């Protein structure tokens, strides 16, 4: 899905910083935080999340240990994401401070700095058929589910729940929801589609 941008829905990221990051990065200090960005497209979502994490660490004056696994089924999108180079028009939503702190300008494009890029692994993965990643603290899958039929949406949601540690978080797009799995997630923010997992994963329907 090629529809993506940096810091899509900025207030949703603000909610992550206020209600999710403190648990992930302070309550679990010294442990690696594992994050899966499913359907990362050309990388904007993954880099936005990494920048938000770095900004949080700088404000709190803490060191963070985290890995973002960013996946997509499209090899061309992954190639763009791995380069981390974007035209200025793609970065219009970023502040000048964010551009200065997290990008290098080469006269034509902005390139993400290594201290952000080094925490991200880009890989090909078909979330509808490949096994989910496991031992995850956060899964973001924003505006992919809306392109799938409800049975396939439910399959992905089950896979996300299976991959998340109990108490891990799920971050969806504004037009998406957790269907009939409300008993397996606590609502952190209904408005911004942030949920916290708990309990055993239900079985897949035949």
Residue 154 has pLDDT above 60, yes or no: yes
pLDDT band at 123 (very low <50, low <70, confident <90, very high): very high
Q: Is 138 helix (H, G, I), strand (E, B) or coil?
A: strand
Of 138 and 202, the one with more pLDDT = 138
- The average pLDDT across 54-63 equals 91
CB 31 within 8 A of CB 158: no
Residue 202 has pLDDT above 80, yes or no: no
Q: What is the pLDDT of residues 89-108, one digit of tens each?
A: 999 889 999 999 999 998 89
The whole-number pLDDT of residue 5 equals 86
Q: 197 forms bridges with which residues in the sheet? A: 185
Residue 28 has pLDDT above 70, yes or no: no
Q: What is the pLDDT of residues 177-201, one digit of tens each?
A: 898 888 888 899 999 999 999 866 6
Residue 205 has pLDDT above 60, yes or no: no
Residue 29 has pLDDT above 70, yes or no: no
CA atoms within 13 A of residue 37's CA, in its CB half-sphere: 25
Of 133 and 26, the one with more pLDDT = 133
Residue-wise burial string across 80-109, b where 16 or more C-beta atoms lie within 10 A, e elsewhere: bbbebbbeeebbeebeeebeebbbeeeeeb
The whole-number pLDDT of residue 26 equals 77
The whole-number pLDDT of residue 31 equals 80
The whole-number pLDDT of residue 182 equals 82
Residue 27 has pLDDT above 50, yes or no: yes
pLDDT band at 206 (very low <50, low <70, confident <90, very high): very low
Q: 164 forms bridges with which residues in the sheet? A: 136
């Amino acid at each position: 899905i090629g529809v993506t941008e940096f810091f899509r829905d900025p207030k949703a990221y603000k909610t992550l910083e206020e209600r999710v990051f403190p648990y992930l990065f302070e309550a679990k200090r010294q442990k690696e935080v594992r994050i899966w960005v499913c359907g990362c497209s050309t990388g904007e979502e993954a880099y936005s999340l990494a920048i938000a994490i770095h900004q949080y660490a700088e404000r709190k004056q803490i060191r963070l240990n985290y890995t973002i696994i960013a996946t997509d089924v499209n090899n061309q999108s992954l190639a763009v994401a791995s380069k981390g180079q974007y035209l200025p028009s793609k970065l219009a939503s970023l502040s000048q401070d964010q551009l200065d702190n997290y990008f290098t300008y080469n006269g034509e494009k902005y390139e993400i700095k290594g201290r952000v890029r080094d925490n991200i692994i880009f890989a090909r993965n078909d979330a509808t058929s490949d096994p989910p990643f496991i031992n995850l603290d956060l899964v973001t899958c924003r505006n992919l589910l809306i392109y799938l039929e409800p049975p396939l949406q439910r399959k992905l949601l089950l896979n996300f729940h299976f991959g998340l540690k109990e108490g891990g978080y799920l971050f969806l797009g504004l037009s998406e929801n957790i269907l009939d799995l409300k008993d397996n997630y606590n609502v952190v923010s209904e408005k911004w589609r942030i949920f916290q997992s708990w309990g055993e994963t239900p079985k897949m329907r035949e």
